[in-house]
């Protein structure tokens, strides 16, 4: 268990019937997974503008529901990833193939993205990028630390050069 599991369970169970989520998902139903990801990412980026939690919620860190984020029109990186996740689930994307991933970005420090398993491999939906990209963490500017999904949580590890191996 990680500190993110309870937060994930709360936001993963909400919004199944939120009108803004259902409406956003309508145009994605029946599309191939990669197209669903591309359109969900574009839709959320168009409707929700980045704003940090201290500026928008007056708290240090709050994982908002997708309905709350879509209604407010603003949120931080995890709020945007949660909105994408919930829109995709409402469109029929398999929930077990979606993971909120907390990590480090070379550009912005602490960061949250949505990882999606597709038949072609993992895709990363990162609000700082215009479209989903292959999740190649060996050379990427984002390094995952913890991923949470419906089947559990995972801590990502990396070989340290200082171990002499």
Q: What domains appear along the chain, each with residue ranges and CATH number?
A: 4-163 (3.10.620.30)
In this predicted structure, the answer to whether residue 28 has a pLDDT above a threshold of 80 is yes
Average pLDDT over residues 26-37: 95
User: What are the φ and ψ backbone dihedral angles of 113, each rounded to 5 degrees?
Assistant: -130, 170
Question: Is 148 in contact with 2 (CB distance < 8 Å)?
Answer: yes
Rounded to a whole number, what is the largest CA-CA distance in the chain? 55
The pLDDT value recorded for residue 93 is 95
Nearest to 70 by CA among 56, 87, 89: 87
User: Which has the higher per-residue pLDDT, 105 or 5?
Assistant: 105
Query: What's the mean per-residue pLDDT of the chain?
Result: 85
List the structure tokens of 122. Answer: 């993992």
The pLDDT value recorded for residue 163 is 54
**Residue-wise pLDDT tens digits, 42-74:** 999 999 998 875 555 555 567 888 998 999 999
Compute the distance between CA of residue 35 and CA of residue 41 in angstroms, rounded to an integer. 10
List the structure tokens of 52. Answer: 């940090």
**Burial classification of residue 95, based on how many CB atoms lie within 10 Å of its CB (0-12 exposed, 13-18 middle, 19 or more buried):** middle
């Amino acid at each position: 268990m990680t500190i993110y599991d309870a937060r994930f369970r709360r936001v993963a169970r909400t919004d199944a019937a939120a009108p803004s989520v259902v409406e956003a998902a309508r145009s994605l139903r029946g599309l191939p997974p990669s197209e669903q990801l591309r359109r969900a990412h574009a839709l959320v980026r168009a409707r929700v503008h980045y704003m940090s939690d201290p500026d928008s919620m007056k708290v240090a860190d709050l994982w908002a529901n997708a309905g709350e984020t879509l209604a407010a029109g603003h949120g931080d990186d995890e709020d945007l990833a949660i909105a994408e996740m919930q829109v995709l689930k409402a469109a029929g994307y398999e929930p077990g193939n979606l993971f909120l991933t907390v990590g480090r970005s070379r550009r912005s420090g602490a960061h949250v993205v949505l990882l999606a398993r597709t038949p072609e491999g993992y895709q990363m939906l990162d609000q700082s990028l215009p479209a989903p990209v292959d999740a190649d963490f060996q050379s990427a500017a984002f390094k995952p630390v913890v991923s949470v999904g419906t089947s559990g949580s995972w801590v990502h590890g990396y070989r340290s050069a200082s171990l002499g191996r």
